[in-house]
């Protein structure tokens, strides 16, 4: 899947808002607010459940990595997520 298509599919899911569980949450992190080098995707099957998380890291801008963005789309699809949330901006990695 190409990068723009993957990003659009994620954005479309996020725009739908909260529609119940299962919920997938995506957050980006980096050493600066301008460069995300890590993404954490969490899955919550039902309210009150402990989130299951998976992390991906890159040496370059992870939001522009076609492979990683395609993997995020596949995780959302396989989880059959009713809701997808994305944290705005880039969280700073404490170093």
Q: Is 80 helix (H, G, I), strand (E, B) or coil?
A: coil
Element (H, E) at 5: helix 3-15
pLDDT for res 74: 97
Mean of pLDDT values over 13-32: 97
Burial of 66: CB neighbours in 10 Å, binned 0-12, 13-18, 19+? middle
CA distance 38 to 92: 10
Mean of pLDDT values over 3-17: 97
Residue 79, token pair as written in the block: 């989880």
Q: What is the pTM of this model?
A: 0.94
Where along the chain do its domains lie? 3-92
- Topology of domain 3-92, CATH: 3.30.720
């Amino acid at each position: 899947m190409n990068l723009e298509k993957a990003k659009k599919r994620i954005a479309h899911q996020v725009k739908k808002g909260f529609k119940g569980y299962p919920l997938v949450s995506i957050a980006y992190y980096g050493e600066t607010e301008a460069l995300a080098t890590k993404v954490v995707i969490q899955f919550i099957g039902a309210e009150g459940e402990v989130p299951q998380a998976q992390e991906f890291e890159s040496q370059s801008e992870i939001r522009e990595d076609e492979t990683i963005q395609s993997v995020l789309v596949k995780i959302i699809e396989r989880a059959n997520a009713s809701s997808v949330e994305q944290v705005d901006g880039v969280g700073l990695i404490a170093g």
